Amino acid sequence: MKKITIMMMMITILSATTLDYEALHEKGRILYQTGSAQEALEVYQEILNSFPDDVDALLFRGRLFARLELYDLAETELLHVIELTPNYLDAYYALASVYYWSGRLEDAARTLTLWIEMDMENPDAYILSARVSIAGRKYAAARTFLELAGDFNADPEVVEKLLSLINTPRITTKWAAGLRYEYLFVDQSRPDWQQFQAYITHDFDKILLTAEFNRYQRNDTFDHTIVLDTYYKLWKKAYMNTRLQAGLSGEFLPVVDVTAEVFQAVGTRHEPALGYRMMHYDSTAAHIPSVAWAMYPGRFYIRDKTSLIINDGLNWQNQFTVRYFFDDVDTYIQLMNVVGTDFNAFNNEWMQSVAFALSGSLALNKNILFSTVLSWTRDEFLLNRLGGSLGFTYRW
C-alpha cells in the first residue's frame, strides 16, 4: 500500500510538471507571436532553467534574439539546437534567416543547402534561397529557386513579388553616378569619332531615374544631348522604360529622340516587350515601332528585337543580344549584333549597316563597377568604324 501511495504521488508530480511545462511553452509562443519579445525571453529562460537542452525553448529563444537584432546570440543558440538535434529543420530555417538578416549571405546559402538536402520539397527553403540570391544580385540562381518554389506549391503572390525585384532594373544603393568615354577609329581618312558621357541615377523604389549628359564629336563637328531615362512598374509583372533625349545644338543628332518600351514577364524566364521610338531631325523624322522577346536560360540572357522604320518608306532593323552572367548580375560578358537600316546624319539618309559589340561589366567591389565595350560597324560598305569605350560607376 505504501508503494502504491508513493507511485501515485510521483505520477501527480510528473503530471503537474508536464502541465507547467506545456503551459509555459504555450505562454511563450503566444508572447512570441504577439511581439512581446522581452516577456517571451523570460518565459523561455524559465523553461531552460529546468530543462537546459530543451531544443524547442532554445529555438524560440534564438528567434527572439534575432528579432531583437542580437544576431551573434541568435547564431550561437541555433547552432546549439542543430548540434543537439541535427535533423531539426526549423532550426536550419531560423539560422539561415539570421544570416540573411545580418547580411551574411554566403553563410545563409550554405545553411539553406543543408536544409534543402534534408527537405527537398519544402517551398519555404526555396523562397528564402531566392531572397538570399536576390540580395546578392545572383538573379540566375534566384530564378531557379523561384521555379522550384512554384513546383512545390509556394504562394504565387510571393513568387511573383520576388520575380518583380529581378525583372525590374534596380541598383543596390539609392544613388549611382558614372563616366564613360568612347573612341572610334574611322576609315577613309576621316577624323576619328569620340563620345563622353556623364550620368547620375537615383532609385526612388518605384521609379529608377537616370539623367545623362553626352558630348559627341563626329568628323570635327560637335553635338551635345541631355537624356532623362526612367524605369517604373506598371501592372502585375510588367514595367516600362521611357527615354527622352534632347539635342542641344542639333548638328547631326536628332533634335528630339523619344523611346517608350513596355516589358511583360511571362513565367520566370521569358519577357516579351513592345516599344515605340520617334526620332525627329531638322530635315526628317522617323517612327519606329518594335517587338522583342527575351529569355533567361540558366546563366544566359538572350534577346531579339525587331524594329520597323517608318520614314519616306519602310525599313527594318534587328538587334540580337546574348549575355552571360558569371556570378552576380553586375559581372557579365555580352555580344550584340545589329543589322538593318540606320540613319546617316551626314548624308541625311537611311542606309544599310551591320555592327557587332563585345562588352563586359565587372563589380570591383560593392560600390565600384567597371565596364568596357569593343565595337565594329560598317555602313553600306562605305564607312568602317572600330573602337571601344571604358566606363566606371560608383554606387552609394
Residues with Cβ within 8 Å of residue 104, at least 6 apart in sequence? none
Fill in the amino acid letter for 177: A
Per-residue model confidence as pLDDT tens digits over 180-209: 999 988 876 778 889 999 999 999 888 999
Q: Tell me the C-alpha distance between 392 and 396, whole Å.
A: 14
Is-contact 34 2, C-beta < 8 A?
Answer: no
pLDDT at 240 (0 to 100): 95
| pLDDT at 67 (0 to 100) | 87
Q: How far apart are CA 299 and CA 296, in angstroms?
A: 7
**CA–CA distance from 46 to each of 28, 43, 77, 94, 261 (Å)?**
10, 5, 16, 22, 61
- Neighbour tally for 62: CB within 10 Å: 25
Residue 197 is given by DSSP the state E
Q: Are 272 and 295 in contact (CB under 8 A)?
A: no
**Short-list 330, 337, 321, 338, CA closest to 371:** 330
Which pLDDT score, from 0 to 100, does residue 346 have? 55
Instruction: Convert the pLDDT of each residue in 5-25 to its tens digit.
Output: 544 444 444 344 454 777 776
Residue 9: what pLDDT? 44
Could you tell me which residues are beta bridge partners of residue 94? none
Single-letter residue type at 369: L
The predicted structure's pLDDT at residue 237: 84
What are 27-32's contacts with CB under 8 Å, separation 24+? 28/57, 28/60, 29/60, 32/60, 32/63, 32/64
Which runs of consecutive H residues, i.e. helices, occur in the chain?
2-33, 37-50, 55-67, 71-84, 89-101, 105-118, 123-135, 139-151, 156-167
pLDDT for res 327 = 84
* DSSP reduced 3-state for 219: coil
Cell of 93: 530555417
SS3 of residue 198 by DSSP: strand
Candidates 259, 242, 270, 260; CA nearest to 167 is 270
Residue 134's pLDDT is: 93
Give the pLDDT confidence of 32-42 residue by residue, as tens digits: 777 666 777 77
pLDDT tens-place values along the chain, 396 residues long: 555 554 444 444 434 445 477 777 677 677 677 766 677 777 777 777 777 778 888 888 888 888 889 999 999 999 999 999 999 999 999 999 999 999 999 999 999 999 999 999 999 999 999 999 999 989 999 999 999 999 999 999 899 889 888 888 877 789 999 999 999 888 767 788 899 999 999 998 889 999 999 999 887 888 899 999 999 988 888 999 999 999 888 777 888 999 999 999 988 899 999 999 998 887 778 899 999 999 999 899 999 999 999 887 888 999 999 999 998 889 999 999 999 887 665 555 677 889 999 999 999 988 999 999 999 988 876 668 889 999 999 999
Domains in the chain and their CATH numbers? 2-119 (1.25.40.10), 175-395 (2.40.160.40)
CB 245 within 8 A of CB 261: no
Nearest to 132 by CA among 148, 151, 153, 111: 111
DSSP structural state of residue 72 = H
Q: What are phi and psi of 73, to 5 degrees?
A: -65, -40
Conformational region of residue 188, where left means phi above 0, alpha means psi within -120 to 50, and beta covers everything else: left
| Cα–Cα distance measured from residue 187 to residue 247, given in angstroms and rounded to the nearest whole number | 26
pTM for this structure?
A: 0.80
For every residue of 242-273, DSSP letters joined together read EEEEEESS-SSS-SEEEEEEEEE-BTTTEEEE
- The SS3 call for residue 175 is strand
